[in-house]
Amino acid sequence: MITIIEDNILNASILIVDDNPSNILLLQRLLTISGYRNIKSTTKSIEVLDLYKTYQPDLLLMDLRMPPPDGFEIIEQLNRIKGDDYLPVIIITAQNDQECRLKALKIGAKDFIAKPFDHAEILMRIKNMLEMRLLHKEVRDHRQKLEDKVQKRTKKLQDLQVELIHRLGRAAEFRDHGTWSHIRRICMYTFELGKSIDLPDEECQLLLYASTMHDIGKIGIPDEILFKAGPLDPKEWEIMKTHSVYGANILSGSSFEMLQMAKTIALTHHEKWDGTGYPQGLKGENIPLVGRITAICDVFDALVSNRPYKDVWPLENAIEEIKRGKGTHFDPNLVEAFLNIMPRLLEIKEQYT
């Protein structure tokens, strides 16, 4: 339970607005005698907005009848700039008809006191309003602290996911006698390609990390097939193709968006635009976009890298192979986007070779 200490009430900031200096002096003396320590005042209503921004009052005591802007206008102006800040306004005025009171309360005043006022009554109302104000601040600050804690814990979970994905990705790559550089290139290629087709920043970040897991399923492929120097025979090739399903199974069942995307990539990055890929034979836009993105990046990197079963292809030949796959192996729109960012891809290749 949140409690308000009496000393905090007496330290609260109070702003008095009245065009009559005598009225201000009366209220200041009354508040000072009662122990309030933080009182500011003005006879110029035009100064209220600036004072609100700089002084940040906890309570506003204000007359209604003043040279423009009057009390009604000030409340409406404050409503436009204070957002969700709870600022109690007590109207203290000789203008005490019902229409005036209702109008003031309707636009945001929290209390209405008629002049001349009873000293004990106004002090009690001021104290009650300050308690409400300070309670509101305590609740707001407490909520903010909780939100900060949730954000920190969420960030830790996200960092844990990223580390887990990187470590599993490296395990798969080492299992394949590959290097961490290949994974770094793939994730950077997919990130850049995602940006080039205007994917949201958040999705590009997910793609950056999730794509590192594209070949995690190779953990389940026998050594004699995975490390075979020559071409695979038909039976061996069928076994090799199961790595996409193995990968999806390893990554399945997670509630985390990053791992869900990683599962999709692992399962679909060997699908082909014309439906001749594996494991499901998906075709065209039935292949998830993140799978299509990773597919073109993975093939390109394989072509320009050393593998047990092939030598490095010259860059020109690799680019021609990507072009030949437009509309058959690869999404034709992605091929165009991929070729357009080739200078950036070559920078990445150079950086992580």
* Higher pLDDT pick, 160 / 348: 348
> Which tens digit of pLDDT belongs to each residue from 110-120?
998 888 888 99
Would you state the pLDDT for residue 15?
95
Residue 169: predicted pLDDT: 67
Angstrom distance (rounded) from CA 222 to CA 232: 13
Structure tokens at 177: 């006698």
Distance, in Å, from the CA atom of 218 to the CA atom of 244, rounded to the nearest integer, reads 8
CA distance 232 to 210: 28
Structure confidence at residue 199 as a pLDDT band (50, 70, 90): very high
Q: Find all residues with CB under 8 Å of 224, minimum gap 6, and list them.
A: none
Q: What is the pLDDT of residues 163-180, one digit of tens each?
A: 777 677 666 666 655 556
CA atoms within a 13 Å half-sphere pointing along the CA-CB vector of 152: 6
Q: b or e along 297-331 (b: 16 or more beta carbons within 10 Å of the residue's beta carbon)? A: bbbbbebbbeeeeeeebeeeebbeebeebbeebbb
- Largest distance between two CA atoms of the chain: 101
- Most confident of the ranges 140-149, 178-187, 207-216: 207-216
Whole-number Å distance between alpha carbons of 114 and 96: 6
The pLDDT confidence band at residue 127, using thresholds 50, 70 and 90, is very high
User: Does residue 236 surpass a pLDDT of 70?
Assistant: yes
- Residues 92-121 have a mean pLDDT of 87
Side chain identity, residue 7: D
Mean pLDDT of all residues in 328-349:
97
State the pLDDT confidence band at 93, using cuts at 50, 70 and 90. confident
Identify the helix (H) or strand (E) that includes residue 61: strand 59-62
Residue bearing the bigger pLDDT, 161 or 234: 234
CB 349 within 8 A of CB 182: no
- Give the pLDDT score at 2: 54
Indicate the DSSP class of residue 90: E
Q: What is the mean pLDDT of residues 40-59?
A: 92
Out of 59-68, 188-197, 226-235, the most confident range is 188-197
Find the range with the poorest average confidence among 52-61, 93-102, 188-197, 208-217. 93-102
Q: Between residues 144 and 329, which one has the greater pLDDT?
A: 329
Percent of the chain with pLDDT over 70: 94
pLDDT-derived band at 155, boundaries 50, 70, 90: confident
Q: Which of 61, 124, 67 is nearest to 93 (CA)?
A: 61
Retrieve residue 174's tokens.
């080492």
Reported as a pLDDT band with limits 50, 70 and 90, residue 309 is low
Q: State mean pLDDT over 64-93.
A: 89
Q: Under the phi-then-psi rule, with left for phi > 0, alpha for psi from -120 to 50, and beta for the rest, what region is 253?
A: left
pTM score of the predicted model: 0.61
The mean pLDDT value of the chain amounts to: 89
pLDDT digits (tens, 9 = 90+) for 253-304: 888 888 899 999 999 999 999 999 999 999 999 999 999 999 999 999 999 9
pLDDT tops 80 at residue 32: yes
